[in-house]
Structure 1
Amino acid sequence: MSTLNRLVLWNIDNTLVDVARVTREAYAEAFRRTTGRPLVRLAPTPGRTESEIIFETLAFNDIVTTDDHLPAFMVALTEAFAARRGDLRRHGRVLAGAREAITTLATRKDTAQTVLTGSIRPNALLKLTELGLDRWLNIDTGGYETGVYSKAALLELARTRTGEKLGARFGQAVYIADSPRDVQAARIAYTPVIAVATGSATQAELRAAGADTVLADLTDTATVVRAVVDLTAPARPA
């Protein structure tokens, strides 16, 4: 039996990395290719899945959606990100403390790490690989936007897939993310959540959403690791 019994699920955008510039440019190109018009307004992105962002962006720009819009936009967005691989390295950045937190948790023999993100898989993998974070994460088993599942459902799916691949039975998982919507998804999935105020939400907003632990950022590695361990500790008998 595997010694792994703890799973850490990481959100990507604004938790581990900042690739906002590339994201905006890719969305603008995908919007133009899909609709033939320039993008005027991009929908809010924190905590949302790609399909939510796409549908709201189309609505905000007065596009009457059809069944063909979502798949066409997904293809265009994938290609737009792939064309900007170099831009991810030049303009993207790993957020302070993220690499150290991941690499430290990777040294623990009882802990596995994967991702839970609203991004479609090809774009999520580009963000991680181009910024050098993929080697410490089980990216094959993460939860990615599919156009079907909610983030709460994807969390459980990522947990199951990771356990099956690694031959582990995780006693507990913890989600690390930066938005109130992510906190809410974790609560729906009965999963403890560590919220970091590295996105657009304040620490007060993250606490109000129900986060179990709230941190300003990931720079204090020991605090991050301690929060992970505390929130995934086996329940004590009453």
Structure 2
Amino acid sequence: MLWNVDLTLVDVAIVTRDAYAEAFRVVTGRPLIKLVPPMGRPDSEIVFETLAVNGIQAEDDHLPRFLSALAVAFADRRGRLAKEGRMMPGAKAALKAVSRVDGVIQTVLTGTIRGNAVHKLKAFGLDKHIDFTLGGYGEEVYPKATLLQVAQSRAKQRFGTPFTAANTVVIGDSTRDVQAARIGGAAMIAVASGRSTAAELRDAGAAAVLPDLSDPAAVVSSLLSLTSSSVVTAQPT
């Protein structure tokens, strides 16, 4: 099972914006004027667009330098996450409930770079049931659908089991998450806790739509109804 992170499990937008501003200043020597909205995109994509809208011509070394600076800036601010951010309703109980389902591996499918995803979840005690060595992350320069396939490949290498839409479930809050699941080959549980409405998530093709994660039994029930194998891969960020 692959969990999305932002607006599915946590909301730390204020700290993220500050970290982006610091990383931009470090890399370009200029103040950040405009940060593009995430919209379910990976950090690698957001970085290029942020450079463009602020009048910076991207060069070959900009992305690795920016992601490195972003990791440092975010780590420096990790003490603010629990104070200025929030855990989404039901997130901890949902992760715990899914962990009790036999054969389920929980990881993340997120646009956030791996180090920052770990900080976000640890700040709220949500990392206990997550295997961060699997999953897909924002420093990998792929669209989210490809990140999903990368995560499935990692799980196959670990467990020797092919992962398909029959035994892979993504849970996220945006229509981009739904599209990634459909293209990448996974079943989709959508939660209307982000910027996409329940109707938009259904129209995008989500197999199950929940208002949020506040009913762990509904999360588990949706998971079981969508899988036909005893082994499941979990979560998008």
Q: What is residue 125 of structure 2 aligned with on the other side?
A: 132
Number of residues of Structure 1 aligned to a counterpart in Structure 2: 227
Counterpart-to-counterpart distance in 2, 1:33 and 1:124: 21
Q: 1:121 aligns with which of 82, 95, 114?
A: 114
TM-superposed deviation, 1:116 = 0.7
Q: What is residue 180 of structure 1 aligned with on the other side?
A: 175
Q: What is residue 232 of structure 1 aligned with on the other side?
A: 227
Corresponding residue SS for 1:175: strand
Aligned AA (2:52): A
Q: Does 1:77 align with 2:109?
A: no
Going from structure 1 to structure 2, the CA distance change for 1:119 and 1:151 (only over 3 Å counts) comes to same
Q: What is residue 3 of structure 1 aligned with on the other side?
A: none
Deviations 1:24-65 (A, max 9, x none): 110111111111221111111021000111111111112222
Q: Does 1:157 align with 2:145?
A: no
TM-superposed deviation, 1:233 = 2.8
Q: Superposed, which structure 2 residues align to 1:55-134 within 5 Å?
A: 55-134=48-127
Counterpart-to-counterpart distance in 2, 1:61 and 1:216: 36
Q: 2:29 aligns with which of 33, 36, 49?
A: 36
TM-superposed deviation, 1:157 = 2.0
Q: What is residue 217 of structure 2 aligned with on the other side?
A: 222
Judge conservation of contact 1:114–1:137 (CA < 8 Å) in 2: yes
Counterpart-to-counterpart distance in 2, 1:75 and 1:161: 24
Q: What is residue 21 of structure 1 aligned with on the other side?
A: 14
Corresponding residue SS for 1:144: coil
CA RMSD of aligned residues (A): 1.6
Corresponding residue SS for 1:141: coil
Structure 1's unaligned 5+ residue stretches are 1-7
Corresponding residue SS for 1:135: coil
TM-superposed deviation, 1:190 = 2.2
Q: What TM-score do the two structures reach when normalised by structure 1?
A: 0.90
TM-superposed deviation, 1:168 = 5.2
Counterpart-to-counterpart distance in 2, 1:63 and 1:208: 37
Counterpart-to-counterpart distance in 2, 1:164 and 1:226: 28
Aligned AA (1:49): P
TM-superposed deviation, 1:198 = 1.0
Corresponding residue SS for 1:118: coil
Q: Does 1:204 align with 2:202?
A: no
Q: Does 1:50 align with 2:43?
A: yes
Q: Percent identity?
A: 54
Structure 2's unaligned 5+ residue stretches are 230-237
TM-superposed deviation, 1:105 = 0.8
